[in-house]
Amino acid sequence: MNGLYLHVPFCEKKCTYCDFYSIESTGLIDRFVQTLCKEIEIRCASLTVPRTENTNGIPSQIGKTLVPFHANTIFFGGGTPSLLSGTQLEKIISTLKDHVDIDPNAEWTMECNPGTISEKSLSDYRAAGINRVSFGIQSFAQPELDFLTRIHSIQEALDAIPTARAAGFTNINADLMFALPPQTVASLEHSLQTLIDLQPDHISAYSLVYEPGTPLHAQLGKGLVVPHNEEFDAEMYHIVMHTLQQAGYEQYEVSNFARPGKQCAHNLMYWHGHDYLAFGPSAHGLVNTERYWNHRSLSTWQAKVDAGELPQANTENLSHNEQAIEYAFLHVRSDGLPFSTFQQRFGLDLQTMLQPHLQHWIDADFVTINNGVLRLTFEGYRVCDEISLKIIQSITK
């Protein structure tokens, strides 16, 4: 199970809280698409590996035949990928298919801004091969959308999911935000219920983070924004978890909820530590324990690709210890940490190492251990960070 991530670094207007790389120069999209296709060619050529065959479980190389990278999940993120036209998207997808061995049943997700879509554009994306859309809805309260400086209106948020259904999508995610300064318990409950009534297949619910370097962070520093206190944020998270579970959405990660069978394969691919190629400025990829990240500037990224070079700013090889921490961290916050698999992979008996904490976590109803797999409970998700920290400390001791 491997993935592809494509970063589309354009937004109509930059939101004050956002620290993803994106710019408002939408006139540059055509040129970006050309460069992205060239990056796909360059990177895939550098990664094509000698074909191997499993003989009695032992891989052996077959001559010099080369096979391309295999991918089961593809994710267009941003920025605002829904600023792409159907034709631009088709060009990117056709280039991907020429250079990557893409599973016929692959999940193809595209992030869409409710303010930049129409039934026509969504139908074009569906025809090009996108089979899952993710809408950044965030809230159904106008003061909260205004606070976030989102470009979409409440009506556009209400229309997004029905429009996607009309365009043929049967797998739809909506992002919701909580812990927003203008938000009250009543307005959060209103947003949750409005979203549940629209019946998306998947909901990602995130609390607002004041990312350093953003205009919102600067406003916070000047005292122009007053955040809620931690207890109130925790209460909001509890309302989100409880309401979504009551409505039939299973929580399968700290921030992610899905109807049965509608978990996001791309998320699971990340959390299970599989390889993924990433394209576009600022995109991060992981291949064979080596992480790389592209230049976070459209012009630098473009100049590198134009020169026929990989546009990455840097790479790092994850050490054995870093791999163990990442494995534990990502599994705990999603579908559970299997102790025996962890021991086989990293040579550490984590269950014994965690003994000082385990009974307390079980007694407090934060975790369960069944068949050697440690899983967070409903209460445990609320203290995920504290539990993750203790696990990381145990590994690094």
Cis peptide bond upstream of 221, omega within 30? no
**Minimum CB distance to ligand SF4 smaller for 17 or for 169:** 17
- Which position among 113, 121, 139, 183 is part of the footprint of ligand SF4 (CB under 6 A)? 113
Closest CA to 281 of 309, 315, 312: 312
**Minimum CB distance to ligand SF4 smaller for 26 or for 184:** 26
Specify the 3-state DSSP secondary structure of 237. helix
Is residue 15 near ligand SF4 by the rule CB under 6 A? yes
> Smallest distance, Å, CB 14 to ligand SF4?
5
End-to-end CA distance of the chain: 32
Is residue 204 near ligand SF4 by the rule CB under 6 A? no
**Minimum CB distance to ligand SF4 smaller for 106 or for 130:** 130
Is residue 11 near ligand SF4 by the rule CB under 6 A? yes
CB 108 within 8 A of CB 128: no
State the binding string over 64-103 for ligand SF4 (x if CB under 6 A, else -).
--------------xxx-----------------------
> Smallest distance, Å, CB 79 to ligand SF4?
5
**Minimum CB distance to ligand SF4 smaller for 204 or for 251:** 204
Count of residues that interact with ligand SF4, criterion CB under 6 A = 11
Specify the 3-state DSSP secondary structure of 128. helix
**Minimum CB distance to ligand SF4 smaller for 72 or for 139:** 139
User: Which of the stretches 12-20, 54-62, 242-250, 291-299 binds ligand SF4 when contact is defined by CB under 6 A?
Assistant: 12-20
CB 372 within 8 A of CB 336: no
Is residue 14 near ligand SF4 by the rule CB under 6 A? yes
Residues numbered 139 to 168 that lie near ligand SF4 (CB under 6 A) are none
- Which position among 3, 81, 114, 136 is part of the footprint of ligand SF4 (CB under 6 A)? 136
> Smallest distance, Å, CB 9 to ligand SF4?
9
User: Which of the stretches 10-18, 49-57, 190-198, 296-304 binds ligand SF4 when contact is defined by CB under 6 A?
Assistant: 10-18
Beta strands in the chain (DSSP E): 3-8, 49-55, 58-67, 70-78, 101-112, 132-138, 172-178, 202-207, 250-253, 256-258, 276-279, 284-287, 290-294, 312-317, 337-338, 367-370, 373-376
Which are the contacts of 177, defined by CB distance < 8 A and separation ≥ 6?
138, 139, 144, 148, 205, 206, 207, 208
**Minimum CB distance to ligand SF4 smaller for 82 or for 95:** 82
Specify the 3-state DSSP secondary structure of 118. coil
Task: Compute the distance between CA of residue 282 and CA of residue 295 in angstroms, rounded to an integer.
Answer: 5
- Which position among 4, 6, 7, 22 is part of the footprint of ligand SF4 (CB under 6 A)? 22
Specify the 3-state DSSP secondary structure of 191. helix
> Smallest distance, Å, CB 204 to ligand SF4?
13
Task: Compute the distance between CA of residue 91 and CA of residue 34 in angstroms, rounded to an integer.
Answer: 9
> Smallest distance, Å, CB 100 to ligand SF4?
25
Cα–Cα separations (whole angstroms), residue 12 to 91, 175, 330 = 22, 19, 33
Task: Compute the distance between CA of residue 330 and CA of residue 327 in angstroms, rounded to an integer.
Answer: 5
Can you give the binding site for ligand SF4, defined by CB under 6 A?
11, 14-15, 18, 20, 22, 78-80, 113, 136
